[in-house]
């Protein structure tokens, strides 16, 4: 449970950043008018986006494979509806939602195309889909050890099932039959100690992390992460 609390603290710190708030807000805008509509947030984690969608007038449903995340979401955001479920087999009827959103989810799946096909199944005709996430080969980190940094980023990417799926979002949607894709790239830039949480998720290499911690202490840390946002029509 301590590990869960630590992860939630990292997620909360990241989600509270102005650039993260703006990016989530843009993802909601691309879903269209939310008033009275049912929207599913696949891989909802601790549920913040679900609560924000409810605030915008939607009936928002969060689905996540991790029961602990769903328990945390239900405790934190009682206005939302949350279910334990798989992105490949959402606990929803065919054509039952008007919006589908997946934020930093598809890189964790070994078959992203299957999840996109599932999004197509649950969306009503004319529904909107929004995919959001990072390409794990495109982290930009200032470091005194650039070669080590490149190696650590690549090593982390290689541990993920689909580390480069974000560059494929548009084609995945087209292949699944979605139309009129809109592609945007928003770069998140970190120049304070909020960068350290994500960096600890890349590696546990003490010397390298110590350098980044010293950079944060002396106001010299720089981390940039391009975030890919793609929306399309069902």
Q: How does pLDDT run across 22-67, given as a tens digit for each residue?
A: 999 999 999 999 999 999 999 999 999 999 999 999 999 999 999 9
Look at residue 104 and tell me if it is in a domain.
Answer: yes
The band of 2, judged by pLDDT with boundaries at 50, 70 and 90, is very low
Predicted pLDDT of residue 3: 56
Contacts of 82 (CB under 8 A, 6+ apart): 44, 47, 50, 61, 62, 63, 64, 70, 73, 74
Look at residue 150 and tell me if it is in a domain.
Answer: no
Look at residue 94 and tell me if it is in a domain.
Answer: yes
Look at residue 217 and tell me if it is in a domain.
Answer: no
How far is C-alpha 183 from the geometric centre of its chain's CA atoms?
16
Total domains in the chain come to 1
- Residue ranges in the chain assigned as alpha helix (H): 2-15, 18-30, 48-55, 67-76, 112-122, 146-159, 169-175, 196-202, 206-217
The band of 7, judged by pLDDT with boundaries at 50, 70 and 90, is confident
Look at residue 172 and tell me if it is in a domain.
Answer: yes
Please tell me whether the overall predicted TM-score, pTM, comes out greater than 0.85 for this model.
Answer: yes
Percent of the chain exceeding pLDDT 70 equals 97
Q: Residue 63, SS3?
A: strand
């Amino acid at each position: 449970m301590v590990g869960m609390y630590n992860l939630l603290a990292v997620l909360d710190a990241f989600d509270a950043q102005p650039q993260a708030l703006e990016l989530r807000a843009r993802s909601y805008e691309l879903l269209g008018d939310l008033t009275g509509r049912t929207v599913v947030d696949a891989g909802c984690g601790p549920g913040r986006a679900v609560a924000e969608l409810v605030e915008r007038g939607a009936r928002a449903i969060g689905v996540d494979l991790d029961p602990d995340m769903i328990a945390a979401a239900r405790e934190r955001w009682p206005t939302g509806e949350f279910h334990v479920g798989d992105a490949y087999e959402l606990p929803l009827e065919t054509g039952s939602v008007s919006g589908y959103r997946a934020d930093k989810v598809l890189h964790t799946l070994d078959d992203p195309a299957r999840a996109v096909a599932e999004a197509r199944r649950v969306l009503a005709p004319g529904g909107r889909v929004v995919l959001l996430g990072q390409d794990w080969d495109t982290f930009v980190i200032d470091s005194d050890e650039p070669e080590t940094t490149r190696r650590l980023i690549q090593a982390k990417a290689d541990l993920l099932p689909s580390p480069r799926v974000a560059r494929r979002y548009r084609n995945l949607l087209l292949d699944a039959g979605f139309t009129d894709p809109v592609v945007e790239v928003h770069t998140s830039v970190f120049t304070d100690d909020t960068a350290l949480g994500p960096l600890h998720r890349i590696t546990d290499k003490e010397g390298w992390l110590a350098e980044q911690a010293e950079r944060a202490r002396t106001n010299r840390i720089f981390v940039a992460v391009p975030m890919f946002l793609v929306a399309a029509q069902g």
